[in-house]
A = this chain, B = another copy of it.
Amino acid sequence: MIGYPNKKKQATKTVSYAKLGMTLESDIDQTNKYYLEQGIAVIHKKPTPVQVVTVNYPARNKAKITEAYYKIPSTTDYNGIYEGRYIDFDAKETALATSMPLKNIHPHQVDHLKAVHEQGGIAFLIVHFKRIQTYYLLPATVLFRYWDTRNEKTGRKSIPLSVFENEAFELNFSYQPRLDYLKVVKAHLMSD
């Protein structure tokens, strides 16, 4: 069970509309909504897993959860289908200017991406470098290489920005869709 410091603000209905388009999650949600409405792809964010402890029933057919905790997700946040291919990814943000720390990723998320890759699915990360306002699609195979060697003597605890520049694909931010990651998938990952 883990804490999400900003969850209260996000979950209540008092979120200002000005905030839309200002978080990676909402940008990806908006992109997926566009894909769905245009018949391009069916990709959804999975609900945040919650461990429910107590439920009250103040009225018939009305369940009120009064004690629950966030759980660590056992898979990635996003999956779906695009032109017959299974798509699976997670979204990560980093405040660092020159690398993405591998501790941003849960070990079971990497296990999941590996299992997906072995089944022939298209697996990747969308990574937002906040400091330089740059978005990359990082193929999971590049992640695996850094992940599997992270505890070796010559290994690194992060993936350098230069690796993103050379082996990932930059995503341009635009109005509609916000982050057209399937354009990159089609151009570079569909022949996997």
Instruction: State whether B84 touches A121 (Cβ < 8 A).
Output: yes
- Given known contacts A3-B57, A3-B61, A47-B50, is B66 in contact with A67 (CB within 8 Å)? yes
| Bound: A69/B55 CA distance, A | 9
- Bitwise, A94-122 to B at CB < 8 A (1) or not (0) is 00000000000000000010011011110
Q: A55-B11, A65-B65, A83-B120 are in contact. Are A47 and B49 (CB under 8 A)?
A: yes
A119 touches B65 (CB 8 A): no
* A11 and B85 contact, CB distance less than 8 A: no
Question: B75 contacts A86, CB within 8 Å?
Answer: no
A-B interface, 10 closest residue pairs, ranked by CB to CB distance from nearest: A84-B120, A11-B52, A47-B49, A3-B63, A81-B86, A65-B68, A3-B61, A8-B55, A86-B86, A81-B119
Contact call A61/B116, Cβ cutoff below 8 A = no
Is A163 interfacial (CB 8 A cutoff)?
no
A113 — nearest CB in chain B belongs to which residue? B42
* A44 contacts B12, C-beta separation under 8 Å: no
Q: How far is the CA of A46 from the CA of B39 in the complex (A)?
A: 22
Binding site for B on A (CB under 8 A): 1-5, 7-8, 11-12, 36, 39, 41-42, 44, 46-55, 57, 60-71, 73-75, 79-86, 88, 112, 115-116, 118-121
Q: Return the contact of A47 from the options B4, B11, B46, B53 (Cβ within 8 A).
A: B46
- Chain B's closest residue to A48 (CB) is B47
Please, could you name 21 A-B residue pairs with CB atoms under 8 Å apart, sorted by A?
A: A2-B61, A7-B55, A8-B55, A8-B63, A11-B51, A46-B46, A47-B48, A47-B73, A50-B50, A50-B65, A63-B69, A64-B68, A65-B65, A65-B68, A65-B69, A65-B70, A66-B66, A79-B80, A81-B88, A84-B119, A85-B86
